[in-house]
Copies of this chain bind each other. A is one copy, B any other.
Amino acid sequence: MTNYFHLPIGDGYSLVSAELSMAKELFELVDSNREHLRTFLDFVDSSVDETLQENYIKMKLQGSANGTDKLFFIAYGDKLIGTIDLHAIHPTVKKAEIGYWVHADFTRKGITSKAVRALCQYAFDVLELNKLTIMAAVRNIGSNKVAQNCGFTFLGTRPQDSFIYGEYQDMNEYYLVKNDF
């Protein structure tokens, strides 16, 4: 159970609405798993205290007011274990991109896939979107599996499409159209 505004996704896990007051816990989550997270996330090394997380949550809440972003945390009970979000929400084309990460203690258990499926349902039903996209670094096996497990179709590999700690990454793009969900 959680005291947060949330969507249950089964087995005690849920997606919870992002709050400014969660910045400290979010920083501690990142701080306790730097080695794993820095492989794929570009903000890990620059996170020295919760300031970066405060600004990130604030920016995403402004995006929520503008209709371009929705940030959620993945939680076990009240404990935050990762983030999942919609960004680049397009008001007329009704498409968006999904991003996600979880602490290494909670990978390989199907939790992220449950979170993505719940977010798809929310995006198609509540936000009335028509298409969702996932970008997964080619070398991030787990992230590719999540996209495939959730019924997303592979579009192609975008060369040199992100830049992390001084090196370009090729990214696999996946999509899911509402009618195929």
Contact B131 A156 (CB under 8 A): no
Chain B nearest CB: distance from A180 CB in Å? 9
Q: Copies of this chain, how many?
A: 6
A93 located at the interface, meaning its Cβ lies under 8 Å from any Cβ of chain B in the complex = yes
Give 30 A-B contacts (CB < 8 Å), ordered by A residue. A3-B7, A3-B125, A3-B126, A4-B7, A4-B126, A5-B6, A5-B7, A5-B15, A5-B17, A17-B17, A19-B127, A20-B67, A21-B126, A21-B127, A21-B128, A61-B64, A62-B62, A64-B64, A64-B65, A65-B65, A93-B160, A93-B161, A93-B168, A94-B163, A95-B160, A156-B156, A156-B173, A158-B175, A159-B175, A159-B177
